[in-house]
Amino acid sequence: MRAVILRACHACPPQDLGAVKLNKVLFYLDMLSYAYDRKPVTGATYRKRPNGPTSDQLLFALRDMARAGDIEIKEVDFHGYIKKEYAPLVEEPKGVLNEEELSLLNDVIDFVCHQNTARSISEYSHSLPWEMAEMGGEIPYRSAMLLFPMEPTPEAFEISEQGLAEVASSRSSTSPVALPLLRDFRSRILREAGQA
């Protein structure tokens, strides 16, 4: 978790990474990793909260990292609300995360921190895994597959219609394959058995 937090802090300016976004980085990293490889990166426990999934372990990890001098945590005014900002004070550890984990983490950071606001990512995170849990209840890793769309998109229908058209045109341009009738097959078997 320390390596993930430091990577997120190095990848985002402090004003772009508050508690809401940091929780979503952890959540999506672990859930997507579980969906792809059946194992989360951090193994944190996630709970349903009003602003989306949160990690049980994040506050403890941040406290320990601040005490160790790894990060600086500031409380700033953000439109009348108190927002926490995180600034890294040490380099990212090398070799803790493998290449696949780093690649996924970079994609998650880009999506959560650079393509969304805290409000939009909070609303986005109210997906099926979040909806299925009781408020304050654990969001199980086995629900990770529910993050992916369940309904076919219009593009999927277009592609399937194109495929059907290709199959239909190839059928009309070739002669049908002759298949023997079952009774003919049985008759042949009986004839050959009588000759033996």
The domain spans of the chain are 2-147
pLDDT digits (tens, 9 = 90+) for 145-196: 888 866 667 777 787 788 777 777 776 555 554 545 556 655 666 666 666 5
Spell out where the chain has E strands: 46-49, 52-55, 71-78, 81-88
> Could you tell me what percent of the chain has a pLDDT over 70?
84
What gap in Å lies between CA 192 and CA 196, rounded to an integer?
A: 6
Tens digits of residue pLDDT in 128-146: 899 999 999 999 999 998 8
Please state the rounded mean pLDDT for residues 44-70.
Answer: 97
- Taking the CA atoms of residue 87, residue 16, residue 9 and residue 45 in that order, the dihedral angle to the nearest 10 degrees is 120
Task: Give the residue among 103, 105, 117 at the shortest CA–CA distance from 25.
Answer: 105
